[in-house]
Structure formats: structure tokens, C-alpha cells
Amino acid sequence: MANERPSTLGELKAAGYEVLPVRAELRKNLIAKLRAGEELFPGIVGYEETVIPQLQNAILSGQDIILLGERGQAKSRIIRSLTSLLDEWTPIIADCEIPENPYEPISPQGHALIEEHGDATPVSWMSRETRYGEKLATPDITIADLIGEVDPIKVAEGRYLSDAMTIHYGLIPHTNRGIFAINELPDLAERIQVGLLNAMEERDVQIRGHKVRLPLDVLIVATANPEDYTNRGRIITPLKDRYGSQIRTHYPQSIEHEIAIMEQEGHHFDTDEFNVVVPDYMKEIVAEVTRLARRSPDVNQRSGVSVRASVANYEAMLANALRRAIRLGEVDVVPRISDLPFVLPALQGKVELETVEDGKDQQILERLIHGGVVSVFNNLCDDASTEPIVEAFKTGISVETGEALAADRYDKLLDEVDGLKAVVQQLVGEDNRSAVQASAAEFVLEGLHLNKRLNKDTLSGPGHSVYRG
């Protein structure tokens, strides 16, 4: 396939190949995908009715874009996925420092190559993946990083400082004919933002006395956190005005979206040694904990609670279930309520608490987990179905649960507690595996305890408890 592509400017002209500006190329391919009904941004969940339509409008109108949102809202992923709207391959002048449209070179080197070789100018082909550049904005970024600088090596080779060929171009020119992203734009120093504005709007930039006019063909997109936008840094008004669309991202608006992202992003270790089963109610609990954290007055809402909290908690819960299976020689890996205390180290790293007394942070996080459990339990189980269980405990029985207990220990428990097996079967259906039923049994008992219908004594070690009437 590569051998069939034109290899010189003359062959490119003879083939009638049209090189569109980047914005026109994105627009053309977006229209084609919309007509074909193709999925535009695979892996982006929960934005189908909000962010994605706005993004499509921005591309159709050829506008530069700022994505504004808290951490963990897939801003970088959305921007990186824009490359799927570029042509699979595009021609550029070969052996040129920056990617150049063979028909319309913009750099002194590109002009010189065309002037020297004419239609024999070599052409190479650039894939869509290599047409993307990204930079995290930090206060130490310089104009040289983004735009360019005089190259001392070229000067040492004998060129004069006044020679424009001494310039070594920065990141943005090196992304010519593509998409360049600046993450956390407010962190960029204001004087650098001025240089960025010139590169986007005026197309002329001074580099060590060289006034270089570069009509760059590049889509410059940016991300910003609203907290940073207003406090830690700011975007200068002319630069903000240059961006045509400011699109607000958000956290998942439904628990189903939260779970879908959690399952999609979590690490999956394929193995034939274990059967991993995650009951729906355990997924819902993990997702609900994150959603409660986003509404909790004890959590700093300005910094946000990323979907990464759900992902990390999900992974930690599965890891503890796997550790138990390995330790006990079991094949079925099924997380239980008693695995949730082992989620705390992951959760602590993902939420920023408001000022609290020493030692209270763990209590706040435990309350979030309890809130997630009771919310899911109350959605799935009613008082009528669980009343026989409560009555059974009033006779004086007690049962022990724990993350370190073997699954078959729960088989006897289901027979001892009247009504428990019936509720468990409502939750798990026809799945009679001990590990699955043990998980459901713990869920029911903990839900009744958090609704103050059973008492619970915590024994030594996390996740080790005794339930009683």
C-alpha cells in the first residue's frame, strides 16, 4: 500500500491529490462518520447527549476548543481521540524539520526544498497517530519550548544569527498539519500565553530578533480545571476569546455510566486459574461511594472526586477477593462486603477532605462506604422479604462473617438463619456457587445492620464481624 503512494511532488500533482487544511479535514471526516452512523469516540462514556454534540458542533464550525472540567472527566482522552477524525495518511515534504504541506510550504527550509527540487521534491507520508502533540502546562515552559529558538549548533556550523535557517522550531510548529493540546492551560505563564496567542491568531512570532511568520495549519485545543481557572491561574482575555468553543465536561450522571467506566478502565488480569464474578450490587456499591463523596460536605468539592476513585476502589476490592481465594485455595473470586475495608487505602488517595480533626479522616471514608452499602441495599431489598431474617436473630442466634473465611463456611449459615436463603436467591438467581452466595449473605446482613435492624460486633482485624439480634 505504501509503495502505491506518490513519492514526489510531481507524482502527487499528477494523482490529483488534494491536501485540505486540518480543520477542513476534520470536518470532512466527521461528516462522513455521522452519515455512516459510526461511533465517533469509543471509550467515552456518558457524554452522548451533552459533551459530544457540542464537540461535533465545534468541529463542524472549525473552532478551537477548550474543555473545562474537574479532574478525571476524560478531557485528555477526548482530545486524543480527535486524531480519529484525521485522514489515515497525509503527505508532507520529506527531510523537512516541521511537517509541511507539499503544495504550500511555510518554513524557509520548506520553500528552499521546493525551489531546489521542484516537482522532484521527495514526499513522505505521515500517519494520523503522529500528527498529535501534547504538553502539560507548567510555569517553567518557555517560548522556546512552544514556538522555537535559535539553534546554537547551526550557528556553530557557520550560519549567521540573522539567517532564519538557524531557528529550531518548538512543539507547536512540529505539530503543523495536526492537533496540538495544552493540558491545564491556566498554569501557563501569561507572557507565554501571549506568544501562544500570536501563534494562533497573528501567525508571526519573534525568536531572538527574527520575526518569523508561520501560517501554521494546526488545531490548538486546551483543557482547564475550573478551580485553577479562577484561583491558581487565569487565561488572558485575548487568548480565551480566541477559542471558539468552551465545552463543560462533567462526572457520570447515572450510576450505570459510573459502573461502565469503572469496568472499562479497571485492570483486568486474564487467568484460567480463577473464575472472577463481581455481583451487580457490589459494583453499584463501589460506584455509589464515589457519587456520595461528590455530594459530601466533608469532601472538598472544588477539587472534585474523579472517576479514578471508582476505578481504584474496584481494583482494590477485587484484589482482596483474589488474595482470599489464593490463601484459601479457592477457584471462585467473588468480592464481599467484608472486602470493603481494604478499599480505604485506595479511596484515601482519591479524595481531598475538608479540614478535619486528626484521626477522623478514616471515619469519614467509612461513613461513605456504609452510605453506599445501605443505599444499594434499600434499592434491592424490602422490609417484607427480610423480616423473617430479623425474627430469626431475635431467637438469640449470632453468625460470624469475615473476609478471611472460606466460602463454604457460609453454606451452613444460610441453613441456620430462616429467610436468609430466600433473599440470597433473589439476589443471585440460580447461581449456587458457595462464593457467590457468601457474598450475597454478607450484603444482606450488613444492609440490615446499617438499617438498625441487626446488631454487629467488630472483631479483631478489618472485615471480621459477628451479627446478632
Query: Would you state the pLDDT for residue 166?
Result: 62
Please report, to the nearest 10 degrees, the dihedral formed by the alpha carbons of residues 324, 327, 328, 332 taken in order: 50
Mean pLDDT calculated for residue range 71-100: 93
Answer for the pair 228, 13: CB distance below 8 angstroms, yes or no.
no
- pLDDT tens profile 225-257: 876 554 456 788 888 878 888 899 999 999 999
Confidence of residue 1 (pLDDT cuts 50, 70, 90): very low
Mean pLDDT calculated for residue range 187-207: 72
Query: Would you state the pLDDT for residue 157?
Result: 59
Confidence of residue 43 (pLDDT cuts 50, 70, 90): confident
Residue 86 clears pLDDT 90, i.e. is over it: yes
Confidence of residue 353 (pLDDT cuts 50, 70, 90): confident
d(CA 23, CA 349): 40
Query: Would you state the pLDDT for residue 2?
Result: 46
Answer for the pair 443, 454: CB distance below 8 angstroms, yes or no.
no
Cell of 87: 485522514
Q: Which string of DSSP letters, residue by residue, matches 63-112?
A: --EEEE--TTSSHHHHHHHGGGGS-SEEEEETT-SS---TTS--SHHHHH
Nearest Cα residue to 263 out of 310, 295, 303, 198: 310
Residue 151 clears pLDDT 80, i.e. is over it: no
180 or 4, which is more confident? 180
Answer for the pair 291, 258: CB distance below 8 angstroms, yes or no.
yes
Cell of 20: 485540505
Average pLDDT, the chain: 87
d(CA 81, CA 75): 10
Cell of 437: 452466595
DSSP annotation of 199? I
- pLDDT tens profile 361-387: 888 999 999 999 999 999 999 999 999
Nearest Cα residue to 381 out of 428, 325, 343: 428
What is the percent of the chain where pLDDT is above 90?
A: 60
Confidence of residue 202 (pLDDT cuts 50, 70, 90): low
Place of cell 468552551: 246
What three-state secondary structure class fits 1? coil
Domains of the chain: 2-248 (3.40.50.300), 255-468 (no CATH)
Query: Would you state the pLDDT for residue 418?
Result: 93
Confidence of residue 158 (pLDDT cuts 50, 70, 90): low
Answer for the pair 32, 60: CB distance below 8 angstroms, yes or no.
no
Nearest Cα residue to 171 out of 208, 209, 214: 214
Mean pLDDT calculated for residue range 52-69: 93
Residue 148 clears pLDDT 80, i.e. is over it: no
Nearest Cα residue to 66 out of 228, 261, 260: 228
Mean pLDDT calculated for residue range 138-155: 73
CB burial string 126-163: b at 16+ within 10 A, e below: bebeebbbbbebeeebebbebbbbbbeeeeeeeeeeee
Determine the length of the chain.
Answer: 469
Count how many Cα atoms sit within 13 Å of the Cα of residue 463 in the half-sphere of its side chain: 22
Query: Would you state the pLDDT for residue 430?
Result: 87
Place of cell 475550573: 226
Nearest Cα residue to 401 out of 312, 328, 337, 314: 337
What three-state secondary structure class fits 467? strand
Mean pLDDT calculated for residue range 105-128: 92
Question: Amino acid letter at 147?
Answer: I
